[in-house]
Structures are given as C-alpha cells and as structure tokens.
Amino acid sequence: MELLVNGSKRSSKASPETSLLSVLRDEFDLTGTKYGCGEGQCGACTVLLDGKAVRSCRTPINTLQGKSITTIEGLEVKGKLHPVQEAYLKVDVFQCGYCASGMVMSTVALLNQNPKPTESQIIDFMNGNICRCGTYPRIVTAIKEAAS
C-alpha cells in the first residue's frame, strides 16, 4: 500500500496489519524512529500523524490511507534543523539518546496544539515518553526554550 512519509509517497509490500514502526525501519530504512517496548508504553517510536503524536509500534499501516506521516528525518528542512531539535541541542538534553527521537516528535506535537504550554501541561503531555537516563528536567527546559 501507499504511504505518505515526510512528504513523499512510499510503497510498502508489508501485510496490512504490519506496524508502521516495522515498515519505517525495515522497509524504508528510516531508523531514526526507535523500537523500545513494542507495546505502546515508552514513546521511543513516536511519529506524527497529521501533526499529532502516535506510537508507530501500535499503528498498523492499514489505518494510514491518506494520512501524512512525519518521522524525525522529516523535521529538517533544507539542511536546517527544526526549532525543537535546536532547543534540545542548546540545552544538551540527552545522555544515551535512545529516547531522543520520540521526545522530539512528542514535543513537536505538543507545540503544534499548544505553542505556549505551562510546565504542568508539558509534564502532562510528555508523561508517556520514558527516558531511562532520567533527563526529564532538561527535557522540560528544552521544551520551554522551544516555546519561547
């Protein structure tokens, strides 16, 4: 089936119930989206679907007809990082970096729907994204920076 990924039509040969995460990583070679738990619990696999955050590990491709999928690879425009990526770099958020892609994508989704979130709204929205290194305070700082 055809999928619209980062503004380009991509054709997948996978069966309809295959997860978007598998298709992105294994078929399209978009490995910026990470496999964490595979059960919708960690947020490492977060991508945008029509601008909203979804867990790609729990999203079968047969639900995606006509929808616009954005992965971390799609945030950069003409060699320029997205302001959220710039803010995360400026604050030097990450340690191991495994959660980075999901954190950034969730942040973009948050700021799409609420450009000036309060700290409690940030914490509430980002609650489902897990960072095993515990960089949460810096993540909140970076989101405030991106929203400023």
| Residues in touch with ligand FES (CB under 6 A) | 35-38, 40-45, 55, 57
Q: Using the structure block, give the residue that is written with the tokens 């491709």.
A: 61
CB of 46 to ligand FES, least distance (A): 7
* Structure token pair of residue 22: 């598998």
When the beta carbons of 101 and 135 are compared against ligand FES, the nearer one is: 101
Of residues 59 and 135, the one with the C-beta less far from ligand FES: 59
Closer by beta carbon to ligand FES, 30 or else 57: 57
Both tokens of 23, joined, read 């298709």
CB of residue 28 to ligand FES, shortest distance in Å: 17
Closest listed residue to residue 146, CA positions, set 100, 120, 111, 95: 111
> Which runs of E-coded beta strand occur in 1-64?
2-5, 8-11, 46-49, 52-55
DSSP state of 89: H
Closer CB to ligand FES, 35 or 136, in the complex: 35
Quote the least distance from Cβ 129 to ligand FES, whole Å.
Answer: 9
Query: Phi, psi at residue 77, to the nearest 5°?
Result: -120, 120
Nearest distance from C-beta of residue 136 to ligand FES, angstroms: 17
